[in-house]
């Protein structure tokens, strides 16, 4: 057990994680953290969990020592120690050449760009390192796209390992590196700042003021403050905002983030399906137009979303509001009063999400984003709206759009009634025209108002299609109760309630067989010899759906039988090797 590293994920946001090292109930250190090198000051254990030396022999040997008692079972004395040959490899620009001295393999795994392309042993399913060292991180950072590619590949291949990028980290880029998936850094750049007589801060390097020192202790202080900020931002879900803000000090760092963002958008099992009602998707910069959450939302609306059946004749196209869900805002209260009908499909125009149907305004991310309201729309924002609206009109088969947004819809081959005529959305005359247009549509297309319980059921079916993969389990279900805890019952038995705390369904034990019968939710299979008592841990799992998202309810199966439900804490990319709890048991058959 001497070299086993006790570790568990305390907080996560996409690829960024805060690991607790040692006893998972009382970790003695955390990540992101510093690997101390020769000549570094002795930082507190909480900030610097490891120290490392490299021999001058050929081939060189990398030694890594834990500075705390991180090994189970007692976490009192044993400090993990790793040693591995780091070999000698060619630079990343010569990736096609398979030459040089091979790198060693152990719980401490050195990986270079060349090794990733030529060493077949890396795909050995039994290879499960505890720490991965991206040995040529500095060289990769100087070549477009290679650093994000290497990090993403290593995160997916070794999700249970800490990732160290030697020589690359500093207070100024720590947030971006952690956002991309780096767990450990060192003070090499701080040493460079000392040599240059500069102070390396969270805003980049700068000349010192008259009262400031540029010694290593000062540089280390700024690194520790950056670690505090980054850990906090991972915990509260704002790491991306911090990463984007800090990247503005370096054009190369901006490039890395953009490449990382583009590559993340095509990765399965990365995003969340549900978040706490208090979580917010901060859309404060143009960077968010291409965020994976936004790309995923557009993909869903254009490819998978289907409007509720009763409202496919007429669409009412409305502007969004700062308050979420929109219906609670002052402007939408006025819109709904003017509309006076539940026979039309209300769809909101918004940035950066493009379109949000009324039936999905309560789910992530539509219910949890924040964007500056300026009234100005960029070409990219308008292009997204046009793409999504064109797809929705084609799919929905609407016969008319009542347009209350002020946006020109001449690109659509459909009857459009403009109710704004240059007036503001809540202007008295505009609201009067909206009322008149809806009344005319109701009469012409013989639209009927829906009973509230029926309208709610159609909304819940729409949400179910998005979050559970099907609405078949809602056949024969009736909506009972009252806001905010609507109950979904079938034959007098409660299957679920609507939870405003997570903007999603909270399933009862009675729903297990119904959900399984209709193939709703993703599946997790346990080993046949596991006696499932508590939550779902990596050791229990034999197979899983790679597209599981954080927050997903999942069906837990064993020997072909559905034995319960659990709620995923980790996205799918982590499920193949991350130690600790992956999902929390939600319902279990007796």
Separation between Cα atoms, residue 128 and residue 146, nearest integer Å:
23
Tell how far CA 284 is from the center of its chain: 17
Is pLDDT at 1 greater than 60 in this prediction?
A: no
CA dihedral sign of residues 24, 28, 34, 37: negative
Tell how far CA 435 is from the center of its chain: 41
What is the CATH T-level fold of the domain 468-588, as seen in this structure? Sulfate adenylyltransferase (3.10.400)
H helix intervals, 316-378: 330-339
What would the pLDDT profile of 439-486 be if each residue is shown by its tens digit? Answer: 999 999 999 998 999 999 999 999 999 999 999 999 999 999 987 789
Secondary-structure breakdown of the chain: helix, strand, coil percentages, each rounded to the nearest 5:
35, 25, 45
Model confidence, pTM = 0.92
In three-state secondary structure terms, 491 is coil
Domain-wise residue ranges, the chain:
7-264, 286-444, 468-588
Q: Are 180 and 224 in contact (CB under 8 A)?
A: no
**Residue of 126, 98, 128 lying closest to 112 (CA atoms):** 98
Helix H or strand E segment including 553: strand 553-558
For 185-222, b/e burial (b = at least 16 CB within 10 A) is bbbbbbbebbeeebbbbbebbeeeeeeeebebebbbbb
Separation between Cα atoms, residue 359 and residue 449, nearest integer Å:
16
What would the pLDDT profile of 73-127 be if each residue is shown by its tens digit? Answer: 888 877 899 999 887 777 776 666 666 667 788 899 999 998 998 888 999 889 9
**Would you say how long the chain is, in residues?**
590
Q: Are 30 and 18 in contact (CB under 8 A)?
A: yes
* Mean of pLDDT values over 33-53: 95
Query: Average pLDDT, whole number, for the chain?
Result: 93
Separation between Cα atoms, residue 501 and residue 194, nearest integer Å:
49
Position 146 confidence tier, pLDDT thresholds 50, 70, 90 = very high
Q: What is the reported pLDDT for 574?
A: 96
Q: What is the DSSP letter of 208?
A: P
Beta-carbon contacts of residue 68 (< 8 Å; ≥ 6 apart): 21, 22, 28, 29, 45, 49, 79
Tokens of 281: 């998707």
What would the pLDDT profile of 296-332 be if each residue is shown by its tens digit? Answer: 999 999 999 999 999 999 999 999 999 999 999 999 9
Q: Are 570 and 159 in contact (CB under 8 A)?
A: no
Q: Are 403 and 385 in contact (CB under 8 A)?
A: no
* Mean of pLDDT values over 343-365: 96
Domain 286-444 bears CATH identifier 3.40.50.10630: yes
**Residue of 5, 3, 29, 193 lying closest to 84 (CA atoms):** 3
């Amino acid at each position: 057990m001497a070299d086993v590293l006790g570790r568990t994920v305390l907080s996560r946001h996409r690829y960024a994680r805060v690991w607790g090292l040692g006893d998972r109930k009382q970790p003695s250190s955390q990540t992101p953290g510093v690997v101390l090198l020769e000549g570094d000051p002795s930082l507190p254990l909480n900030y610097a969990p490891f120290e490392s030396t490299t021999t001058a022999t050929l081939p060189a040997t990398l030694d890594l020592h834990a500075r705390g008692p991180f090994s189970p079972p007692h976490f009192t004395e044993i400090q993990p120690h790793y040693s591995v040959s780091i070999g000698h490899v060619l630079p990343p620009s010569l990736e096609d050449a398979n030459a040089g001295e091979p790198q060693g393999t152990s719980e401490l795994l050195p990986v270079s760009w060349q090794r990733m392309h030529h060493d077949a042993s890396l795909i050995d399913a039994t290879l499960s390192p505890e720490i991965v060292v991206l040995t040529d991180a500095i060289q990769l950072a100087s070549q477009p796209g290679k650093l994000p590619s290497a990090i993403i590949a290593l995160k997916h291949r070794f999700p249970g390992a800490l990732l160290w990028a030697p020589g690359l980290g500093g207070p100024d880029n720590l947030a971006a590196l952690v956002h991309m998936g780096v767990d450990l850094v060192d003070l090499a750049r701080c040493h460079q700042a000392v040599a240059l007589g500069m102070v390396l801060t969270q805003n980049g390097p700068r000349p010192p003021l008259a009262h400031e020192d540029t010694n290593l202790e000062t540089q280390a202080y700024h690194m520790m403050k950056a670690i505090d900020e980054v850990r906090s931002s991972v915990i509260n879900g704002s790491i991306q905002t911090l990463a984007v803000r800090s990247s503005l000090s370096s054009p190369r760092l901006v490039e890395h983030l953009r490449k990382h963002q583009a590559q993340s958008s095509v990765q399965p099992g990365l995003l969340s399906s549900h978040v706490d009602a208090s979580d917010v998707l901060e859309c404060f910069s143009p960077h968010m137009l291409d965020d994976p959450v936004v790309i995923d939302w557009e993909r869903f609306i254009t490819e998978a979303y289907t409007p509720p059946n009763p409202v496919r004749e007429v669409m009412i196209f409305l502007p969004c509001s700062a308050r979420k869900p929109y219906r609670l805002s002052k402007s939408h209260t006025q819109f709904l009063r003017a509309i006076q009908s539940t026979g039309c499909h209300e769809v909101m125009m918004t940035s950066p999400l493009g379109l949000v149907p009324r039936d999905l305004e309560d789910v992530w991310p539509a219910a949890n984003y924040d964007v500056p309201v300026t009234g100005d729309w960029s070409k990219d924002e308008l292009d997204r709206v046009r793409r999504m609206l064109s797809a929705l009109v084609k799919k929905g088969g609407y016969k008319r759009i009542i347009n209350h947004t002020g946006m020109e819809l001449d690109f659509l081959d459909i009857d459009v009634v403009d109710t704004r005529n240059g007036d503001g959305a809540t202007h008295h005359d505009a609201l009067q025209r909206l009322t008149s247009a809806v009344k005319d549509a109701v009469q012409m297309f013989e639209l009927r108002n829906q009973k509230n319980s029926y309208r709610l059921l159609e909304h819940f079916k729409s949400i179910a299609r998005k979050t559970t993969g099907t609405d078949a389990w809602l056949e024969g279900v009736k909506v009972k109760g009252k806001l905010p805890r609507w109950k979904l019952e079938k034959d007098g038995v409660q299957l679920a309630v609507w939870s405003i705390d997570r903007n999603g369904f909270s399933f009862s034990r009675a729903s297990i067989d119904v959900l399984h019968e209709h193939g709703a939710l993703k599946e997790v299979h346990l080993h046949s010899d596991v006696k499932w008592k508590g939550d779902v841990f990596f050791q229990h799992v034999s197979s899983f759906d790679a597209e599981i998202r954080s927050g997903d309810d999942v069906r837990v199966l064993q020997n072909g039988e559905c034995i319960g439900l659990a709620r995923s804490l980790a996205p799918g990319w982590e499920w193949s090797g991350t130690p600790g709890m992956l999902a929390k048991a939600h319902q279990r058959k007796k």
